[in-house]
A and B are shown apart, each in its own frame.
Chain A
Amino acid sequence: METSTAAAKVVNPQEKKIVYKTSDLDLWYGDNQALKKINLDIMENEVTAIIGPSGCGKSTYIKTLNRMIELVPGVRTSGEILYRGKNILDKSYQVEELRTKVGMVFQKPNPFPKSIYENVAYGPKIHGIRDKKILDQIVEKSLRGAAIWDEVKDRLNQNAYGLSGGQQQRLCIARCLAIEPDVILMDEPTSALDPISTLKVEELVQELKKEFSIIIVTHNMQQAARISKKTAFFLNGEVVEFSETNKIFSTPADKRTEDYITGRFG
């Protein structure tokens, strides 16, 4: 497998702020340590990719960023994750508030068994927005933002499960956009999709990064190379290397990174 340099981008010299500052994060599932001393600074308005073999902790890490990891029984953490300067692992941090700011797109499309419209309007509705006219605008804007408006505008009242897998995933992205989050977490968003749908989602990510900070976990190294500005390589719960994507894929600093991206394992 050839290392791709296709994603080489001009580094934007403009000063950007840190969205997520992770310091010495440890995480255990029961007695099993899944993350070890993670230190990562994630910048706003860019795409950060997290790559690594199965079981390396990349999904665990991204789920820690919106505390979805708490749904797993027996999870313990130590260290801190500062989101916009506040430690989200602090018990006093309201998890609902965090998740209102940090949207998430899952591995498998998981629309609600409701109409397309209701799926997108769900987020604004639970946060108290009831005005039909405003909701209409939000739904249209979000669906346009997720590049699916033209495909669904004539059937907004049909069940979301009538859409194809790729459309469902873009609908889930639209659902996420509807509450205008600050960060979008994507946990292998294209792993259940066909190549054409994958391409559409990737193009969408390129659009979205103008407005949102995106953190994407992916199995697919080419995908990371194509769409991300920075890449973190996880292995056995540790961050082996974290730097500019084009550097990771052309001149990796660590031997293990090189072995992984050249396909020697994983």
Chain B
Amino acid sequence: MVKCASHLVIGMKGVFKLATQNTNSFSVQKMIQEKKKKKSAGGITEKIMPYILFLTAAVSVLTTIGIVLTLIFETFLFFDAVSIKEFFTAKVWYPFSETNGSFGILPLVMGTLKVTVIAAIVAVPIGLASAIYLSEYATDSARRIIKPILEVLAGIPTIVYGFFALTFVTPILRDIIPSLEIFNALSPGIVIGIMITPMIASLSEDAMTSVPNSMREGALALGATKFEVAIKVVLPAAISGIVASIVLGISRAIGETMIVAVAGGSTPNLEWDITGSIQTMTAYIVQVSQGDVGYGTTIYYSIYAVGMTLFVFTLVMNLLAQYITRRFREEY
């Protein structure tokens, strides 16, 4: 310490001298060499660090693999009791009968599909329009206010959205559509749409903002209007990021649980009607997990089979997104 302090003093004197009379009373190289000797242990850090970092990375990968393996394993046990054919073709999902339960996943898939499509119909136009406004029209100060608000919206717990759907949106919708049941597909669909809108808006805006200004200038200089620039230059140039944001949003809609569990009801059905009670794959898993279903029963294993189906859905969505982004990418 003492040595260090004296070095510092000399050092400061040296700087002072350097500035005034241009003589060198200390050597930077010598100081570097001394510091290096002191922390010779630093070599070990350099050697160990990559392994530690690798281990942390491996933990997340291994966890994922573990989850998928468990899913697969338990799903196989389910298919010991129920045939794959019945699972994918039977039109009724009624697992709660010990003697003649029916395990056709189509009604649950239908529930998820209805909610997801409604959510996408709400979220994609609003999200894209907001993104275009934010990246092409909003002033800097407006953007600085709106963007954080969007990000806060994305952070609201989904259970809050769930009660918002059940106690606020559903009553309003019932005033408009009298035949709407208390539990239905429409209300949670709209609310999930509201939930994923900020995500689509924010990610699409990022993609559009990163389109170089020189491209906007090129189009403006040809006499394009601002809107033409946004639609015909910026949007196509950012399309890969935009598609990615939409798919990410839809993946979230597919996997969304609390909103549909609270406001969607628990009646799996295969109808296209969106005013009646439904059950999604996720809501079914919640229902079974909360109940007192015995370990090892077919119902118990069924949640793994449903979980597996859900996983395949989101996996396919992600692969699709990757394909689309590669296919439509506009390199610049």
- Where the two chains meet, the residues of A that have a C-beta atom closer than 8 Å to any C-beta of B are 66, 68, 71, 96-100, 103-104, 106, 108, 110-114, 122-123, 126-127, 159, 161, 172, 175-176, 179
Contact = CB atoms under 8 A, between A and B. Distances in A.
Nearest to B216: A71
A112 B219 contact: yes
A103 B232 contact: no
A176 B223 CA distance: 10
Contact of B232 (A98, A99, A126, A176): A126
Given A68-B220, A100-B223, A175-B218, A126 B331 contact: no
Contacts, number: 68
A62 to B, nearest CB: 11
B contact patch SS: helix
A100 B332 contact: no
**7 nearest CB pairs, A to B:** A100-B223, A113-B330, A110-B214, A104-B221, A113-B332, A99-B223, A123-B222
A127 B332 contact: no
19 contacts: A68-B217, A68-B220, A71-B217, A96-B224, A99-B221, A99-B223, A106-B214, A106-B221, A110-B215, A110-B218, A113-B332, A114-B330, A122-B219, A122-B222, A123-B222, A161-B331, A175-B222, A179-B222, A179-B223
B234 to A, nearest CB: 10
A199 to B, nearest CB: 24
Given A100-B223, A106-B214, A106-B217, 11 more contacts: A68-B220, A96-B224, A97-B223, A98-B223, A110-B214, A113-B332, A122-B219, A123-B223, A127-B223, A161-B331, A175-B222
Nearest to A100: B223
Residue from the set B223, B224, B233 with the largest chain A CB neighbour count within 10 Å? B223
B129 to A, nearest CB: 21
A99 B217 contact: no
Contacts of B233: 112
Contact of A106 (B218, B228, B232, B236): B218
B228 A126 contact: yes
B237 interface: yes
A219 B232 CA distance: 33
Contact of B218 (A66, A96, A100, A112): A112
Contacts of B21: none
Given A106-B217, A106-B218, A172-B218, A112 B223 contact: no
Interface in B151-178: none
B270 to A, nearest CB: 44
A99 B226 CA distance: 13
B62 to A, nearest CB: 39
